[in-house]
Structure 1
Amino acid sequence: MRLIAFGDSMVAGAGDPDHLGWVGRAITGRREITLYNLGVRRETSADIAGRWEAEARVRLTPDEPLRIVFSFGVNDCHLEDGAPRVATAETLKNARAVLTQARALAPVLMVGPPPVADPGVCARVESLNAALLALCGRLQAPFIDVFHPLAAGGLWQTEAAAWDGAHPGAGGYQQMADLVSAHPAWRRFTQAAE
């Protein structure tokens, strides 16, 4: 199976000394999965919406099943010139487009955005997380909420605060990977590779 992960620096695993991030850790031991981690630092939902299809199509093959996972939103919530980089309505429009179009190619799954150390950004991320969850429900697209369990656990934000305010170390990424890999939606999503 080929697994393509589109997203931001959280998907890329920025700050992880092992360079696995949550995606690499969520498939540890799954040798039958070829991972294409296409997370890019500072990218917003608009950036991902503009590039995902071309990058996915070159990785299609008739010989292996494909899965596409999206995870974004934190960068949309950061302020730039006093306003969020991407307004919530626009983020939801981008999410609807990528999920709808991508599932014409392969099964899709969305992992919600994680918390950050900055309380203002974190509040906007929490609100966006709820909106993305509702959108995925309407689209009947699987969604994994990592925001609330990570915020409740505190490790992600503690590690992020100790580094750059957004990205945790190995422990935070492992905690997120454990949440994702234990979720029934993830197990169903990757079951063709088992």
Structure 2
Amino acid sequence: MRLIAFGDSMVAGAGDPDHLGWIGRALAGRRAVTLYNLGVRRETSGDIAARWRAEAMPRLVDDEPMQIVFSFGANDCHIEDGRPRVAQAQSLKNAHAMLTGAAAIAPVLLVGPPPMADPGVSARLEGLNDTLKALAARLKVPFIDVFRPLAADGLFQAEALAWDGAHPGAAGYQRMADLVRVHPAWTAFTLAD
């Protein structure tokens, strides 16, 4: 099975000294899965929406199933020039376009954004997480909410504060991977190979 992961620096695993991020850790031991980690630092939902199809199509083959994972939001919620980089309504439009477009070619899963160390960004992310969850339910796309358990635990944000204020280290990514890996939606999604 081929699994393409689209997203931002959280998908890319920025800050992870092992360069696995949460997605590499969630797939550990799954040799039959070919992972294409296409997370790009600083990208918003608009940036990902503009590129995902062009990057997915060359990875499609007739003889091997493909799955697509999306995870984004942190960059949408960061303040730039006095306002969030992407308004929540536009984030939802971008998410809708990606999820419906991708679902037409492969099974899709959406992993919600993790919390940030900055309380303002985190509050906006919590709101975006809730609206993404509702959108995914409407579209019948599996959704994994990592925001609340990571926010309650605090390790993810503590590691981010210790490094660059945004990205955790190995333990934070492992905590997120553990939440994803045991989620029934992930199990059903990745065991379809």
Q: TM-score range by the shorter chain?
A: over 0.9
Deviations 1:107-133 (A, max 9, x none): 000000000100010100011000100
Match of 1:52 in 2: 52
Render the CA deviation track for 1:153-188: whole Å, top value 9, x for unaligned: 110000001011110000000000000010000001
For 2:189, the equivalent position in structure 1 comes to 189
Deviation at 1:63, TM superposition (A): 1.2
**Seq. identity, %:** 74
CA-to-aligned-CA distance 1:65-92 (integer Å, 9 cap, x gap): 0000000000000011101000000000
Provide the rounded CA distance (Å) in 2 between the counterparts of 1:62 and 1:41.
31
Q: How many residues in Structure 1 have an aligned counterpart in Structure 2?
A: 193
Residue in 1 aligned with 2:179?
179
Paired position in structure 2 for 1:132: 132
TM-score when normalising by structure 1: 0.99
Instruction: Indicate the SS of the match to 1:192.
Output: coil
Please show how residues 31-110 of structure 1 align to structure 2 within 5 Å. 31-110=31-110
Query: CA offsets per residue over residues 22-59 of structure 1, 9 Å max, x none?
Result: 00000000000000000000000000000000100000
- Alpha-carbon separation, structure 1, partners of 2:94 and 2:190: 24
Shift of 1:191: 1.2
In 2, distance between residues paired with 1:186 and 1:161? 29
What TM-score results when the alignment is normalised by the length of structure 2?
0.99
RMSD (Å) for aligned C-alpha atoms:
0.5
Q: C-alpha deviations, 1:142-162, integer Å up to 9, x for none?
A: 000000000011100000010
What is the Cα deviation at residue 60 of structure 1? 0.1
- Stretches of structure 1 lacking an aligned partner (at least 5 in a row): none
Question: Could you say which residue in structure 1 is the equivalent of 2:111?
Answer: 111
Distance 2:164 2:83 in 1: 21
For 1:173 and 1:49, the matched residues in 2 are separated by 24
Residue aligning to 1:24: 24
The alignment partner of 1:58 has SS state of helix
Q: Aligned AA for 1:135?
A: L
Q: CA deviation at 1:192?
A: 1.9
